[in-house]
Structure 1
């Protein structure tokens, strides 16, 4: 007696939205996410707007980290939708700047509210899909400027240290010369 097994053929699963990421990465949802994170609340009587990112950023230690993780959704969506890598790098830099500066108590929270990395990143995503060449050039300029700034921040302390060391050594040399002249 011989048994034959016939495999069951299941139809392929259909992805919601018909594309990778489904409806999560639709323009409307990403716009809503950036709005909720950056500017859905308004201080009455002012033009100051802020969102969950500004509120969560008040929590010392982990607030800005949580906000940065939420901001990564827009970056992942941009990458999955084929935005040029230089623009994705600019988006990462926007979130990095917000997280690093935002970690400074009080001043960083005000910076978070003003910087609005998520609104910036959504605008980069939408603009990059509409006019890829223009946004790629702007992203290169931004990243080059950021590299120059970071290089200056690294070189400035080194130059200051070299100047102080030379000044101290000259001072010691003058004192030593006075000792031997007597």
Structure 2
């Protein structure tokens, strides 16, 4: 019996109520990385609003992206929540790599003024990443040929991007040496 219960008059002693810990739960009692919350986040970022009279939908990502410099970075940081949730939920590394590539494409091309914002509205990286997350949670070890082709194309593009500057420097050095 607790000290408090012993000091109370007989018949009035009550044991304090013990509540379970809130580990990983918000005040509303939902986990931050639940499907419902991630689906809502991807909708808010990618297709929350609709242009009246059209089927064109856009989200906060497209609006924030209009702010030069920091807009796409802030939207990219918000988009990282879905990728981090996928990692916590045990999505395979191939899928995580594809999600990061989707996000990287969104941020890099989205940084181009106006054209990038139109791309953000069309690309919808967050909806793509949420679909990848739910597909791989439902079918944990299934990778499609699309996953392999997408990653191969990304690796090829990255190799070109990192090789071109080296080739350019090498060409400039050769030109300087021949010129002297």
Shorter-chain TM-score category?
Answer: 0.7 to 0.9
Partner residue, 2:48 = 40
Q: Extract unaligned runs of 5+ from structure 1.
A: 1-9, 174-182
Partner residue, 1:89 = 97
Structure 2 distance, partners of 1:80, 1:169, is 54
Residues 1:147 and 2:155 are matched in the alignment: yes
Q: SS state of the match for residue 13, structure 1?
A: coil
Larger mean Cα displacement after TM superposition, 44-53 or 151-160: 151-160
Q: 1:51 aligns with which of 47, 59, 74?
A: 59
Whichever structure has more helix as a proportion of its residues is 1
Structure 2 distance, partners of 1:36, 1:11, is 33
Structure 1 distance, partners of 2:119, 2:144, is 26
Q: 2:37 aligns with which of 13, 18, 29?
A: 29
Compute the displacement of 1:153 (Å): 2.4
Aligned pairs for 1:1-182 (under 5 A) are 13-15=21-23, 22-135=30-143, 138-159=146-167, 172=179
Cα displacement string for residues 80-122 of structure 1 (whole angstroms, at most 9, x for unaligned residues) = 1111122112212211111111111111111111111100000
Structure 1 distance, partners of 2:23, 2:172, is 64
TM-score, normalised via structure 2 length: 0.75
C-alpha contact 1:124 1:135 (8 A) present in aligned 2: no
CA RMSD across the alignment: 3.0
Distance change (3 Å), C-alpha of 1:47 and 1:150: same
Equivalent pairs, count: 165
C-alpha contact 1:84 1:136 (8 A) present in aligned 2: no
Structure 1 distance, partners of 2:177, 2:35, is 62
